[in-house]
Amino acid sequence: MNAVKRFKKMHLTVDDCKALAEGSSSLTQPFSQRQSRGDVNRSLHPTHRTRRHQGGQGQQKSITDYFRISQTQQVGTGGTKNCRIKEELLDPIFSEPDDSLSSVSTVMEISSDSCSFLEDEDFVPAPTVSSRKWPLSTAAAGVHKPEHDLWDKPEKQQMVVHPEPSLIKQEHSQIKQELDDMEIEPVPDAHYGLLGTRNWEVPQGSIDELPVEVLRNIFAFLPVTDLYQNLSLVCHCWREIVRDPLFIPWKKLYHRYLMKEDTALQTVERILQDFAITKEQEGCVLGLIRYVSAIPTGQKVNPSAVLRCLKSHHLFSKAEVCVVNKLPHLQSRMGPENMWAIIAVMVLFSDGVSDIQRLMACLQRPCSTLSVVDMTETLYCIATLLYAMREKNIAITNRIHYNIFYCLYLMENASVTMQTVEEETPAPHCRRDLWAGSWPEIKLTHEQQRILNHKIEHGQVVKIMAFAGTGKTSTLVKYAEKFADLNFLYVTFNKAVAERGKSVFPRNVTCKTFHSLAFGSVGKLYKEKGKLNFSKMSVYSVSSLIQNREGQSLFIRGKTVSQTLENFFASSDKEICEEHTPIWFKNTHGIRKLVSRREKEINVEEAKEIWHNMKKLDGDVEKKYKITCDGYLKLWQLSKPQLSGYDAIFVDEAQDCTPAIVDIVLSQKCGIILVGDPHQQIYTFRGAVNTLYSVRHTHIYYLTQSFRFGPEIAYIGATILDVCKKIRNKTLVGGSQKGDVRGSREEDNNLITKQFKCGLARFGLSRIYDIWKLSQPADERKKANLVINDSFIKKWEETRGFFGLKEYAECIDDKDLEVKIAIVEKYKDRIPELVKKIESSHVSQEAMADYLIGTVHQAKGLEFDTVLIADDFVEVPCLSGNYQRRTNFSIGMYPEDEWNLLYVAVTRAKKYLLMSKSLEHLLALAGEHFLRVELMSEATKDGAAITCSMPQCTKTLQSGSGLVVKKLPLTHSNGSRDAGGYLCHACTQQRFGSLTPLTLFPALQEQPIQF
């Protein structure tokens, strides 16, 4: 009898699986790996077909392309032809049920740039392994019938021969003896148990040799996008794991629901109806808890052990009281129902991301028997239902869903092959220029890595949709470094940004502004002739160039002609036409009226005359018709320039491109990469169009994780996009930095507003002083020797005076001039005193300043430790109760630019954000009132009666209830403070929405849950 061979058994923990997911780029980015004979993962690299097929070259595939495809068969004499109909999706997230995976082979065969799978004889089917089944219907997970294989063909039933019981017993005894003889030693490194190597040895194994159970646990840590777009293409075995309906079903359903996939919508709708999670049901949130508590759980899970791990969480005692009193029937059950109920309530009571992070840490403790997959699947289940509740207009704060999403995002996106790029170092004091200084190394996110895996080709248009602070510059720098064999042109609008780019980008990148390119070709010719006007043509100067005809007054027509020229310069058109004329104008009484057909004809005629004289290099002796910067840029665009010598063009801040610039960019033959944030478009008044939406693309990528701020500030930014722009399928997240938005920090050193400008010159202080001088009687000016220095204001001293200037500002709708006149009228004789105070308080060095005063436009591209939001943005009224808005206010009343301004202002903050009252009211539209659930015993521990803290409410809290809702204190940017406090039942109903029933009990039960 042969002796039993001794071998070593290695323990495989969750951390081991996680380490492999973090350390192996073959998992998340298989197409970007270099192949070599010594590569342990060489068998996992997709092999390229030698035969090329027609169609789809250079086009990006969304997740839906890998599963289901609409196609019609056209049969002719030449055979069968596949006509593929591909739907353009903004968000390439899986949006089809898993049963549609069967069509992946069709896609792979007809797509020319796809990669073939391994040979069929190398395929190893993935067995269905799951310790737990979820209460999802067959339609929910896209379950195949068990008798059907991947290709939907019936499989033959294999005959199973059962051995004799005595032989089974003998074999079990032998296995037990072998296990007892094993020598067990600690794991020498994170990969030993997976690849069979120590860190000082040459790897002997390969990832594809790992058991399916191990792969399932590893894959569960990865984002859905990587699962479908990368892992499912590696081999048949991995594809089977990803398509398994019992593999992370809620994680997949959540993303399908976000994409509004029909089957997912129907599945979630059925759950909402079956468990009475509807707007009409007052206790709809109890239905959510009941559904979560009904999740079947594996036998290895010990609910008592899990509850003991949760006991250290500060929300546990509150959730325990709630479950005992609202769902008492769960207490008597010995199963996991009360465990899941308590976890669900703890999630619902969370008022920040840190609460969910602590909950996840408790559930991952060694003494907990709950697996990481069980935990994440439960959180995805709750997140899906919460998202659906908001979609159904059920009154519940969006913060709870955001908390869950944020934590799951950080957990999944930590599992990536990290590469290093440079990031900026802080500038002195509070301000940070995003380009300044040397860049220490940082790690790339999954989203950044996906971009670096794409090599740009001629004719491709790639969009990178980057939220605020998500490292778009870092990504472009690393992209240029990776593809050092390519030459790039980086173009932007700001000269300072282009100059700083020269010190950041590698040598294969040329940094320019659009106007510098146009100046080198066209503008310099006008400068040489003295016909270049570096500033914008004023309405006053245009009025002096046109004829005084019947109809509009001279200044009003000067305004409309000026707008006509600006619209033409921004357009891609060759000639000025009526489409460039404004639609509305303000008459002399300040009333908006439509521009008549006759006035449009006059505007076009006058604008053509000015443009004709502008273009002349000779003949304008008096130099009245100097060309502007936008004018010579327009001439350059009309010349159809070709930027030779570049393989690709980086267009920064692409959301601010005008149609003229878009025409220049798209006419290039090289590859084009458009980078920007569509929600930071704040220059539509200059003719900018949102290129990131309007231009067709071949590939699109997203950057949603900001490195600038933590969860609190990220939540404010995400909620602005949610409420004001209905952006929910892509969510802004931050990092793990600590931050505050409730004003708990008293030191504030930044201010962002729309009216004032940083620096005395840009602030317009001297012009305000000159307007005040103009408002004084002529004899007073002469007596006090008040000299007006501003050349434009001085013109009015000689003509119609202060009231003429005011009428002019109103006629041409000059907001900046109107604001300065309003300041003079408000402060009157205090203006000289205030000007002196401001001048004496002004410092030239930022490091010496306590406040930086500026506009959103000036702050764009910068970041600050602390930001105060002034109260001159869109005024959002306070809610009147029960989540109903005032009838005279609507988000749609205001253009998107107004909400973009607020979003840009908020996302300048790194650590502290002081909100205006209006911004607080805006968050209330998303159901967020900064509330926290407390134990009534803690609130009444001193024995005194508690009165509701809301203004004009004198009700006393009911001591019989076990829980009470508390409004957290909040300090506003104007210095006012809401001290917060406890809420009565009526005020709780108005602000806590559908969560209110969780805090109110008819009769309190004191007994705790047994475990």
Average pLDDT over residues 522-541: 88
The whole-number pLDDT of residue 98 equals 43
pLDDT tens digits along 712-764: 999 999 999 999 999 998 999 999 999 999 987 654 445 554 433 346 677 78
The whole-number pLDDT of residue 691 equals 83
The whole-number pLDDT of residue 75 equals 36
Cα torsion 842, 844, 848, 852 to 10°: value is 60
- Does pLDDT of 835 surpass 50? yes
Cα angle, residue 471 at apex, residues 465 and 477 outer, rounded to 5°:
100
3-state class (DSSP) for residue 531: coil
Q: How far apart are CA 224 and CA 412, in angstroms?
A: 9
The whole-number pLDDT of residue 506 equals 95
The residue with greater pLDDT, 717 or 690, is: 717
Can you point out the beta strands (E) in 68-205?
A: 70-76, 79-85, 183-184
Can you point out the beta strands (E) in 514-631?
A: 532-533, 584-586, 592-594, 627-628
- % pLDDT > 70, the chain: 72
Non-local (6+) Cβ contacts of 837 within 8 A are: none
Q: Which two tokens stand for residue 768?
A: 């305000």
Average pLDDT over residues 931-957: 87
Are the CB atoms for 342 and 307 separated by under 8 Å? Answer: yes
Nearest one of 181, 390, 414, 153 to 288, comparing CA atoms: 390
The whole-number pLDDT of residue 87 equals 32
Q: How far apart are CA 377 and CA 369, in angstroms?
A: 15
Q: Which two tokens stand for residue 534?
A: 């570096």
Q: Which of 213-222, 451-460, 532-541, 927-936 has the lowest mean pLDDT?
A: 532-541
pLDDT tens digits along 93-138: 333 444 433 333 333 333 333 333 223 333 333 444 444 444 454 3
- Does pLDDT of 89 surpass 90? no
- Does pLDDT of 629 surpass 80? yes
pLDDT tens digits along 773-818: 999 998 888 888 899 998 889 888 888 899 989 988 887 778 889 8
Total residues belonging to the chain: 1011
Q: How far apart are CA 91 and CA 729, in angstroms?
A: 8
Can you point out the beta strands (E) in 266-375?
A: none
pLDDT tens digits along 324-370: 989 888 766 667 899 999 999 999 999 999 999 999 999 999 899 99
Q: How far apart are CA 824 and CA 820, in angstroms?
A: 6
The whole-number pLDDT of residue 795 equals 86
Are the CB atoms for 347 and 356 separated by under 8 Å? Answer: yes
Average pLDDT over residues 593-618: 91
pLDDT tens digits along 489-507: 999 998 989 999 999 999 9
How many Cα neighbours within 13 Å face the side chain of 166? Answer: 0
Q: Which of 141-150, 457-466, 909-918 has the lowest mean pLDDT?
A: 141-150
The phi and psi torsions of 956 (rounded to 5 degrees) equal -100, 140
Non-local (6+) Cβ contacts of 721 within 8 A are: 679, 727, 732, 903
The whole-number pLDDT of residue 623 equals 76
Average pLDDT over residues 465-476: 94
Q: Which two tokens stand for residue 360?
A: 């996840």
The whole-number pLDDT of residue 139 equals 38
- Does pLDDT of 628 surpass 90? yes
pLDDT tens digits along 408-419: 999 998 744 444
What does the mean pLDDT of the chain come to?
A: 79
Average pLDDT over residues 941-959: 84
The whole-number pLDDT of residue 554 equals 83
3-state class (DSSP) for residue 330: helix
Average pLDDT over residues 617-622: 76
Q: Which of 768-782, 940-954, 965-979 has the lowest mean pLDDT?
A: 940-954
Reported confidence tier of residue 437, pLDDT bands at 50, 70, 90? very low
Reported confidence tier of residue 686, pLDDT bands at 50, 70, 90? confident
Q: Are strands 963-967 and 931-935 parallel, antiparallel or unpaired?
A: antiparallel
Measured in whole angstroms, the distance separating CA 142 from the mean position of its chain's CA atoms is 29
- Does pLDDT of 27 surpass 70? no
The whole-number pLDDT of residue 900 equals 95
The whole-number pLDDT of residue 798 equals 80
The whole-number pLDDT of residue 773 equals 92
Amino acid identity for residue 821 in this structure: I
- Does pLDDT of 271 surpass 90? yes
Tokens 């950044």: give the residue: 448
- % pLDDT > 90, the chain: 48
